[in-house]
Amino acid sequence: MPTGTLAGRVAVITGAGRGLGAALAISLADAGCRPVLCGRSIANLTATQAVVRERTGIEPLLIALDLADAASVEAASRTIADGTDGVDILINNGAMWLEGRETPYSAEEVLGVVNAAVSGTFLLTQALLPALRRSACPDIVTIGSISGLPNAALQSVSVPFYAAKHAQAALADGFRQMLAGTPVRSITVHPPYLDDMLPGDEAWQASPQRAKGSRAGNRDVVEAVIFALTRPRSVTLSITLDADDGGLFPRQA
Protein backbone atom coordinates (compact mmCIF):
# COMPACT_ATOMS: atom_id res chain seq x y z
CA MET A 1 0.00 0.00 0.00
CA PRO A 2 1.61 3.37 -0.99
CA THR A 3 2.26 5.49 2.11
CA GLY A 4 0.66 8.69 0.75
CA THR A 5 -2.76 7.18 0.12
CA LEU A 6 -5.51 6.34 2.57
CA ALA A 7 -7.23 3.75 0.38
CA GLY A 8 -7.83 0.47 2.16
CA ARG A 9 -6.53 1.63 5.55
CA VAL A 10 -8.41 0.49 8.65
CA ALA A 11 -9.15 3.61 10.71
CA VAL A 12 -10.45 3.32 14.28
CA ILE A 13 -12.20 6.53 15.34
CA THR A 14 -13.37 7.17 18.90
CA GLY A 15 -16.40 9.38 19.49
CA ALA A 16 -17.51 8.62 15.91
CA GLY A 17 -21.25 8.95 16.52
CA ARG A 18 -21.44 12.72 16.27
CA GLY A 19 -19.57 15.98 15.81
CA LEU A 20 -15.96 15.93 14.69
CA GLY A 21 -15.63 12.15 15.12
CA ALA A 22 -18.52 11.54 12.68
CA ALA A 23 -17.04 14.08 10.23
CA LEU A 24 -13.67 12.30 10.42
CA ALA A 25 -15.22 8.86 9.92
CA ILE A 26 -17.29 9.94 6.89
CA SER A 27 -14.36 11.84 5.31
CA LEU A 28 -11.88 9.02 5.85
CA ALA A 29 -14.37 6.59 4.29
CA ASP A 30 -14.76 9.00 1.35
CA ALA A 31 -10.95 8.80 1.01
CA GLY A 32 -11.12 5.00 0.87
CA CYS A 33 -10.47 4.05 4.50
CA ARG A 34 -12.36 1.27 6.23
CA PRO A 35 -13.65 3.03 9.38
CA VAL A 36 -14.23 1.32 12.72
CA LEU A 37 -16.72 3.48 14.60
CA CYS A 38 -16.37 3.58 18.40
CA GLY A 39 -18.53 5.40 20.93
CA ARG A 40 -20.99 5.18 23.78
CA SER A 41 -24.22 5.56 21.81
CA ILE A 42 -24.84 2.71 19.37
CA ALA A 43 -27.76 4.73 17.94
CA ASN A 44 -25.37 7.58 17.04
CA LEU A 45 -22.80 5.16 15.61
CA THR A 46 -25.53 3.52 13.52
CA ALA A 47 -26.42 6.94 12.08
CA THR A 48 -22.78 7.54 11.06
CA GLN A 49 -22.61 4.00 9.66
CA ALA A 50 -25.66 4.70 7.47
CA VAL A 51 -24.08 7.87 6.05
CA VAL A 52 -20.81 6.04 5.29
CA ARG A 53 -22.71 3.16 3.65
CA GLU A 54 -24.79 5.53 1.52
CA ARG A 55 -21.77 7.57 0.36
CA THR A 56 -19.23 4.78 -0.17
CA GLY A 57 -20.84 1.35 0.04
CA ILE A 58 -18.44 0.57 2.90
CA GLU A 59 -20.00 -1.10 5.97
CA PRO A 60 -18.09 0.16 9.03
CA LEU A 61 -17.73 -1.96 12.14
CA LEU A 62 -19.52 -0.51 15.21
CA ILE A 63 -17.84 -0.89 18.61
CA ALA A 64 -19.40 0.09 21.95
CA LEU A 65 -16.77 2.07 23.85
CA ASP A 66 -16.92 4.15 27.00
CA LEU A 67 -13.44 5.60 27.38
CA ALA A 68 -14.12 6.44 31.02
CA ASP A 69 -14.66 2.75 31.84
CA ALA A 70 -11.52 0.56 31.79
CA ALA A 71 -13.53 -2.65 31.35
CA SER A 72 -15.30 -1.17 28.32
CA VAL A 73 -11.94 -0.09 26.83
CA GLU A 74 -10.56 -3.60 27.30
CA ALA A 75 -13.62 -5.25 25.74
CA ALA A 76 -13.63 -2.80 22.81
CA SER A 77 -9.91 -3.37 22.14
CA ARG A 78 -10.47 -7.13 22.04
CA THR A 79 -13.44 -6.75 19.66
CA ILE A 80 -11.41 -4.47 17.37
CA ALA A 81 -8.46 -6.89 17.34
CA ASP A 82 -10.82 -9.83 16.59
CA GLY A 83 -12.84 -7.96 13.96
CA THR A 84 -9.93 -6.58 11.91
CA ASP A 85 -6.69 -7.95 10.48
CA GLY A 86 -4.74 -5.01 11.89
CA VAL A 87 -5.24 -1.31 12.50
CA ASP A 88 -3.58 1.33 10.31
CA ILE A 89 -4.95 4.51 11.92
CA LEU A 90 -6.20 5.19 15.44
CA ILE A 91 -7.90 8.54 15.88
CA ASN A 92 -8.19 9.45 19.55
CA ASN A 93 -11.06 11.91 19.12
CA GLY A 94 -13.49 10.99 21.92
CA ALA A 95 -13.30 13.23 25.00
CA MET A 96 -15.93 14.51 27.41
CA TRP A 97 -16.62 18.24 27.22
CA LEU A 98 -17.04 20.15 30.50
CA GLU A 99 -17.66 23.87 30.40
CA GLY A 100 -16.38 26.27 33.07
CA ARG A 101 -18.90 27.43 35.70
CA GLU A 102 -19.04 28.90 39.20
CA THR A 103 -20.78 25.97 40.92
CA PRO A 104 -18.76 22.89 42.00
CA TYR A 105 -18.31 19.96 39.66
CA SER A 106 -19.43 16.51 40.78
CA ALA A 107 -16.84 13.75 41.22
CA GLU A 108 -18.57 11.94 38.35
CA GLU A 109 -18.01 14.89 36.00
CA VAL A 110 -14.35 15.31 36.96
CA LEU A 111 -13.57 11.59 36.75
CA GLY A 112 -15.51 11.33 33.47
CA VAL A 113 -13.50 14.12 31.84
CA VAL A 114 -10.11 12.93 33.03
CA ASN A 115 -10.72 9.23 32.51
CA ALA A 116 -12.15 9.60 29.00
CA ALA A 117 -9.44 11.91 27.68
CA VAL A 118 -6.44 10.55 29.57
CA SER A 119 -6.74 7.06 31.13
CA GLY A 120 -9.12 5.67 28.50
CA THR A 121 -7.17 7.17 25.60
CA PHE A 122 -3.92 5.76 26.97
CA LEU A 123 -5.37 2.30 27.65
CA LEU A 124 -7.03 2.05 24.24
CA THR A 125 -3.86 3.14 22.44
CA GLN A 126 -1.74 0.73 24.45
CA ALA A 127 -4.15 -2.13 23.74
CA LEU A 128 -4.24 -1.39 19.99
CA LEU A 129 -0.47 -1.02 19.60
CA PRO A 130 0.06 -4.68 18.63
CA ALA A 131 -2.59 -4.30 15.88
CA LEU A 132 -0.98 -0.99 14.76
CA ARG A 133 2.44 -2.61 14.64
CA ARG A 134 1.10 -5.10 12.07
CA SER A 135 0.38 -2.21 9.66
CA ALA A 136 2.80 -1.07 6.95
CA CYS A 137 1.92 2.57 7.77
CA PRO A 138 0.60 2.88 11.32
CA ASP A 139 -0.58 6.24 12.67
CA ILE A 140 -2.00 7.43 15.98
CA VAL A 141 -3.79 10.79 15.71
CA THR A 142 -4.67 12.66 18.89
CA ILE A 143 -7.33 15.36 18.67
CA GLY A 144 -6.21 17.74 21.40
CA SER A 145 -7.38 21.33 21.78
CA ILE A 146 -5.92 24.79 21.98
CA SER A 147 -6.90 24.41 25.68
CA GLY A 148 -4.12 21.80 25.96
CA LEU A 149 -1.33 24.02 24.66
CA PRO A 150 1.30 25.45 27.05
CA ASN A 151 0.15 28.75 28.62
CA ALA A 152 -3.27 28.56 26.90
CA ALA A 153 -5.94 30.89 28.31
CA LEU A 154 -8.67 29.08 30.24
CA GLN A 155 -11.45 30.91 28.30
CA SER A 156 -14.79 29.12 28.77
CA VAL A 157 -13.50 25.67 29.67
CA SER A 158 -13.49 24.04 33.11
CA VAL A 159 -10.20 23.42 34.91
CA PRO A 160 -10.66 19.60 34.71
CA PHE A 161 -11.15 19.81 30.92
CA TYR A 162 -8.16 22.19 30.61
CA ALA A 163 -5.99 19.77 32.61
CA ALA A 164 -7.24 16.73 30.68
CA LYS A 165 -6.42 18.37 27.35
CA HIS A 166 -2.92 19.26 28.62
CA ALA A 167 -2.50 15.61 29.60
CA GLN A 168 -3.73 14.47 26.19
CA ALA A 169 -1.06 16.63 24.53
CA ALA A 170 1.48 14.98 26.85
CA LEU A 171 0.17 11.53 25.87
CA ALA A 172 0.73 12.33 22.20
CA ASP A 173 4.25 13.68 22.88
CA GLY A 174 5.00 10.67 25.10
CA PHE A 175 3.87 8.24 22.40
CA ARG A 176 6.00 10.09 19.85
CA GLN A 177 9.09 9.59 22.02
CA MET A 178 8.21 6.03 23.00
CA LEU A 179 7.65 5.05 19.36
CA ALA A 180 10.67 6.86 17.88
CA GLY A 181 12.61 4.40 15.75
CA THR A 182 9.47 2.31 15.06
CA PRO A 183 7.11 2.70 12.07
CA VAL A 184 4.32 4.15 14.27
CA ARG A 185 3.77 7.93 14.08
CA SER A 186 2.02 9.96 16.80
CA ILE A 187 0.36 12.94 15.12
CA THR A 188 -1.48 15.70 17.01
CA VAL A 189 -4.05 18.24 15.90
CA HIS A 190 -5.12 20.99 18.32
CA PRO A 191 -8.39 22.61 17.17
CA PRO A 192 -9.80 25.96 18.35
CA TYR A 193 -13.53 26.31 19.16
CA LEU A 194 -15.35 24.71 16.23
CA ASP A 195 -18.57 25.06 14.30
CA ASP A 196 -20.13 21.61 14.05
CA MET A 197 -20.74 20.43 10.48
CA LEU A 198 -20.79 17.20 8.50
CA PRO A 199 -19.82 16.35 4.91
CA GLY A 200 -22.81 17.13 2.72
CA ASP A 201 -24.00 20.02 4.93
CA GLU A 202 -24.31 23.48 3.40
CA ALA A 203 -21.88 24.76 6.07
CA TRP A 204 -19.35 22.07 5.04
CA GLN A 205 -19.59 23.10 1.39
CA ALA A 206 -19.21 26.81 2.26
CA SER A 207 -16.41 26.30 4.80
CA PRO A 208 -13.42 26.84 2.45
CA GLN A 209 -14.78 30.33 1.57
CA ARG A 210 -14.93 31.54 5.20
CA ALA A 211 -13.28 34.93 5.69
CA LYS A 212 -10.60 35.69 8.27
CA GLY A 213 -12.39 36.46 11.52
CA SER A 214 -14.77 33.52 11.16
CA ARG A 215 -14.75 30.52 13.45
CA ALA A 216 -13.05 27.28 12.34
CA GLY A 217 -15.16 24.20 11.71
CA ASN A 218 -14.95 20.41 11.63
CA ARG A 219 -13.90 20.49 7.97
CA ASP A 220 -10.72 22.41 8.84
CA VAL A 221 -9.75 19.74 11.37
CA VAL A 222 -10.57 16.88 9.00
CA GLU A 223 -8.40 18.46 6.29
CA ALA A 224 -5.53 18.94 8.76
CA VAL A 225 -5.77 15.29 9.83
CA ILE A 226 -5.80 14.04 6.23
CA PHE A 227 -2.87 16.33 5.36
CA ALA A 228 -0.85 14.97 8.30
CA LEU A 229 -1.71 11.34 7.50
CA THR A 230 -0.61 11.66 3.88
CA ARG A 231 2.83 13.23 4.56
CA PRO A 232 5.90 11.08 3.86
CA ARG A 233 6.49 8.56 6.67
CA SER A 234 9.62 10.46 7.73
CA VAL A 235 7.45 13.42 8.82
CA THR A 236 5.27 13.60 11.94
CA LEU A 237 3.09 16.68 12.27
CA SER A 238 1.75 18.43 15.33
CA ILE A 239 -0.74 21.02 14.03
CA THR A 240 -2.30 23.93 15.90
CA LEU A 241 -5.33 25.31 14.07
CA ASP A 242 -6.05 28.88 15.05
CA ALA A 243 -8.83 31.37 14.26
CA ASP A 244 -9.60 34.93 15.33
CA ASP A 245 -13.00 33.77 16.59
CA GLY A 246 -12.62 31.04 19.22
CA GLY A 247 -8.87 30.84 18.82
CA LEU A 248 -5.89 30.74 21.11
CA PHE A 249 -5.79 34.48 21.72
CA PRO A 250 -9.15 35.96 22.76
CA ARG A 251 -9.96 38.93 20.52
CA GLN A 252 -9.12 42.40 21.91
CA ALA A 253 -12.21 44.44 22.91
Ligand X SMILES: NC(=O)c1ccc[n+]([C@@H]2O[C@H](COP(=O)([O-])OP(=O)(O)OC[C@H]3O[C@@H](n4cnc5c(N)ncnc54)[C@H](OP(=O)(O)O)[C@@H]3O)[C@@H](O)[C@H]2O)c1
- Interface with ligand X (CB under 6 A): 14-15, 17-21, 39-41, 44, 65-68, 93-97, 116, 143, 145, 191, 193-194
Yes or no: say if 189 and 142 are a contact pair by the CB < 8 Å rule.
yes
Q: Of 68 and 163, which has the nearer Cβ to ligand X?
A: 68
Please state whether beta strands 216-217 and 89-92 pair in parallel, antiparallel, or not at all (unpaired): unpaired
Write out 88-133 in H/E/C secondary structure: CEEEECCCCCCECCCCCCCHHHHHHHHHHHHHHHHHHHHHHHHHHH
Sign of CA dihedral 134, 139, 140, 143: negative
Taking CA 144 as the corner, what is the angle to CA 214 and CA 80, rounded to the nearest 5 degrees?
125
Q: Which is nearer to ligand X, 116 or 129 (CB)?
A: 116
Give least dist CB 26 to ligand X, A.
Answer: 13
- Residue, CB closest to ligand X: 19
Q: Which is nearer to ligand X, 137 or 162 (CB)?
A: 162
State in angstroms the smallest separation of the CB of 96 from ligand X.
4
- Closest distance to ligand X from the beta carbon of 183 (Å): 25
Residue 73 Cβ, how far from ligand X at the closest point, in Å? 9
Q: What is the signed CA dihedral for 96, 154, 214, 14, rounded to 10 degrees? A: -20
Residue (134 or 245) nearer to ligand X, CB? 245
For the CB of residue 150, give the shortest distance to ligand X in the complex, in Å: 16
In 10 A of CB 78, how many CB atoms?
Answer: 12
Query: Which CB, 66 or 88, lies closer to ligand X?
Result: 66
Spatial distance between the Cα atoms of 91 and 68, rounded to a whole number of angstroms:
17
Find the shortest distance in angstroms from Cβ 62 to ligand X: 12
- CB nearer to ligand X: give 116 or 137: 116
For ligand X, give the closer residue by CB, 135 or 190.
190
* Least spacing, CB of residue 136 vs ligand X, in Å: 28
